[in-house]
Amino acid sequence: MARISNVISNISVNVGAPFDIRPPAGEEWLIKDFGSSNAPVTGVPDISVAFNDATPTPCQTLIDPTTDPGKRLRQYNYYLTNAIFLTVTNTGAATPEISWLGEKVRAGLTVSAIAAIGAGGTIDIRPLAGITWNITEYGSDVWTAGPADVNPDVSIAITDGTLILSLIIDPTMARGQDKEIDWYISNAFYLQVTDTGGGGQNFAYCGRLVPETCISFVSDVAGSGIYDIRPANDAEWLITEFSAETWLGAAPAGYPDMTVSVMVGASLSNLLTNAGELRWDQKFHLNIDRTHWMRITETSTANNEIGFLGILKRIYN
């Protein structure tokens, strides 16, 4: 039997115009990285990348590295379909050979969209009841001006439909913008995206439907109060993100105004504080159970809508 390859890595030779990385109908692809034969800029390939659905205005996700290297410094997880794909543009002077690396993935599980957000308006990224989505990338056709930090001009918050201010992404802050995204959401606790530029925009996202049970949550914690992230007996959770209504620090160096601690019995060990440890900017994969859990301490003096994202892990006996 002939071997069937799932690799779709390739090189587009002598690129003189933007080109699409687009699966054929019925296939879905995961793109992980890019390269270029042009000299790198700020240490990364001299290209820009945008989500596209064949409309006139693609949604940028990686911009010209001369402006901002941004997400170029980490691994990507672009899940593509024939309807929502990527457009790659050479931003260097010479005509390069541009490469991409990726694989085919099981079809029918990718969740992606490009949606219009009205001026100052919002959209929800929300699965149907009983479904868990893992959101992995996003982009927009409107970005902040910088120059201290250049980002899509949106805020992204965890919401239950009532509590809506627990931010994962603040467009004025660097925190969270350049990290590998790993956001688990459900019908009960999902994402709300807000146009913060005031002029409206097109916003894109992608991810996958996953079999795990979402345990994400948002809560209103009183000033100086605590919230314990603690599974039930015989349950294990994987925590991948935290959010907060109140952040501490001037733009672009602000961080959620809370402390995240590991708890075992009466023993407490701080993992993250509002002082802004560099771990805030890295991907989280934090495992807890009933006897080894996490405590969020609200460190501002006002109420703080705090949140976390994660999934229930399978237990092996």
**pLDDT at res. 278:** 86
Question: Residues 183, 105: contact at Cβ < 8 Å?
Answer: no
The C-alpha angle 105, 107, 109, rounded to 5 degrees, equals: 95
* Strand 132-140, strand 217-221: pairing: unpaired
pLDDT at site 69: 79
> Is residue 211 a part of any domain in this protein?
no
Tally of domains within the chain: 2
Placement of tokens 């929800």 in the chain: 124
Domain boundary among 49, 80, 108: 108
The pLDDT, as a whole number, for residue 158 is: 98
CB 296 within 8 A of CB 227: yes
Q: Last residue of a domain, which of 57, 75, 108? A: 108
pTM for the whole structure: 0.96
Q: What is the CATH number of the domain that holds 30?
A: 2.60.120
- Domain residues for the domain of 14 are 1-108
Listed residues 83, 108, 133: the one ending a domain = 108
- Residue 210 falls inside a structural domain: no
Residue type at 244? A
Which percentage of the chain shows pLDDT scores above 90? 86
Q: Could you report the per-residue pLDDT of 194-203, keeping only the tens digit for each?
A: 999 999 999 9
Residue 192 lies in a domain: no
Residue 21 located in a structural domain: yes
pLDDT tens digits for 241-260? 999 999 999 999 999 999 99
What is the rounded CA–CA span in Å between residue 30 and residue 105? 7
> Using CA atoms, how far apart are residues 294 and 239, in angstroms rounded to an integer?
10
Q: Is residue 185 part of a domain?
A: no
User: What is the average pLDDT score of the chain?
Assistant: 94
| Class of residue 86 by CB neighbours under 10 A (exposed 0-12, middle 13-18, buried 19+) | buried
Decide if 285 is inside a domain: yes
